[in-house]
Chains A and B, each alone.
Chain A
């Protein structure tokens, strides 16, 4: 899988992680372009269904990142996220999903370098895991029709 370029969906909180990603860009920290960012108001806004939906639609990995504990713009959103996503992550592991499919992180607005490092690490993790074939919706017939209809 040398040339496998994973598609990763990143749900980043508006106040810290999104700003952190922005800083990584502004500071020209290099990181692979495999991440598609979706900005959310808070890591607490991330419904686990977002994660499942992303995988279902074909993402190879999903990253959720928010403010460090104690730094939430809304006081406590990330504490809730921490509980919920950990339980959710546990469930995914028990289900037998490759652990690389879902990652949770804390990135503050000043951690541009860390964001770049996180993405580098995570992209490599997903590359090692290979493409998501196990948790994606059945669409072979639609793909076939698309190719025929072209």
Chain B
């Protein structure tokens, strides 16, 4: 990892080096903040970006994606891989944690998902350490913190006059070096100067081990209680930075068609409904158990990291007002 310090104006100049990359930043559009392509001139001087309404996953794992085109009555297929290079600036450390969870699923567990891989290779993710806590966010309660590199290629720290960049991407390091007034190799991200990072007494959340969570699998009463106000919509899962479940569907036009991948949600009944009519997760109770344990037990089991980033989006959007922090506490009460 390289830690670089740049003067503010030099930092913006340095971004000029990335001319072959399309620049994406969070931008407000009415009530929503979306990742939008933008020009270098339109970047805010103070490098402050609002948190995106949806999660950052869409940059690597869009809600809708064509995997390949095909002819229906002849053996002909043509995969569609995206080659566009993107520099994504202004996401949060929690977004980068979400990307890490996605990377583990799509890249680290065999087989490798070529679509995700290609996008990841073509994307430079530069996050910015949070200058304040957002409504309902709780990454500090999960031990993640608003100043961590997580799955990003680099993170920017506001050092007042200067900009600090901690980079683990060779491309980024190489291009920024020439503009930095100081740079050094670092082993550990805690060694670097981070400027003012927001601190508060984190709310204590009892996070159990994956095994302890798994042991709660047949606590029907618990899952029933938690799921009882749930409406079974997908707003939490579609906005969640770590939810990666998807559906595959064919879309046709005359003799040709394409296979499309779209988001799917474990909160939908159809998600697991088998053609025979049998549904292994027939009620919201089983679906909630799946959603919770996937994040807090299965992902930690399989990938070694927590499947929740603490971004708080699910809390904000839940039409039934279900608060994941309280769910975490409720679940812990059942610990044996």
Contact = CB atoms under 8 A, between A and B. Distances in A.
Partners in one complex: yes
Interface of A: 139, 141-143, 145-146, 149
Given A139-B253, A141-B258, A142-B258, A149 B66 contact: no
B304 to A, nearest CB: 39
Contacts of A146: 253-256
Nearest to A146: B256
Nearest to A140: B253
A143 B253 CA distance: 8
6 contacts: A139-B253, A142-B69, A142-B253, A142-B258, A145-B69, A146-B256
A149 B257 CA distance: 11
A139 B66 CA distance: 12
Interface in B200-255: 251-255
B7 interface: no
B76 to A, nearest CB: 6
A85 B254 CA distance: 30
Nearest to B254: A146
Interface string B245-285: 00000011111111000000000000000000000000000
A142 B257 contact: yes
A124 B66 CA distance: 39
B251 A142 contact: yes
A146 B66 CA distance: 15
B78 A145 contact: yes
B120 interface: no
A146 to B, nearest CB: 5
A139 B258 CA distance: 10
Given A141-B66, A149-B256, 13 more contacts: A139-B253, A141-B258, A142-B69, A142-B251, A142-B252, A142-B253, A145-B69, A145-B78, A145-B256, A146-B253, A146-B255, A149-B71, A149-B78
Contacts of A145: 69, 78, 256, 258
Interface of B is mostly: strand
Contacts of A139: 253
Contacts, number: 25
Contacts of A149: 69, 71, 76, 78, 256
Q: Which of B69, B71, B253, B258 has the most CB of A within 10 A?
A: B253
Contacts of B258: 141-142, 145
A55 to B, nearest CB: 16
A137 to B, nearest CB: 9
Nearest to A149: B71
A146 B73 CA distance: 13
A139 B252 CA distance: 9
A145 B78 CA distance: 9
A145 B252 CA distance: 11
Interface in B66-99: 66, 69, 71, 76, 78
A141 B256 CA distance: 11
Contacts of A143: 253
B13 to A, nearest CB: 38
B162 to A, nearest CB: 46
A143 B258 CA distance: 11
Contacts of B76: 149
Nearest to A144: B69
Contacts of B71: 149
Nearest to B252: A142
B79 to A, nearest CB: 12
10 nearest A-B pairs in the assembled complex, by CB-CB distance:
A142-B253, A145-B69, A146-B256, A139-B253, A145-B256, A142-B256, A149-B71, A149-B76, A149-B256, A142-B258
Q: Which of B69, B251, B256 has the most CB of A within 10 A?
A: B256
Contacts of B66: 141
A33 B146 CA distance: 67
A139 B71 CA distance: 15
A46 B71 CA distance: 33
Contacts of B257: 142
B278 to A, nearest CB: 29
Contacts of A142: 69, 251-253, 256-258
A39 B66 CA distance: 36
Contacts of B254: 146
Contacts of A141: 66, 69, 258
Nearest to A139: B253
A28 to B, nearest CB: 34
Q: Which of A139, A141, A145, A149 has the most CB of B within 10 A?
A: A145
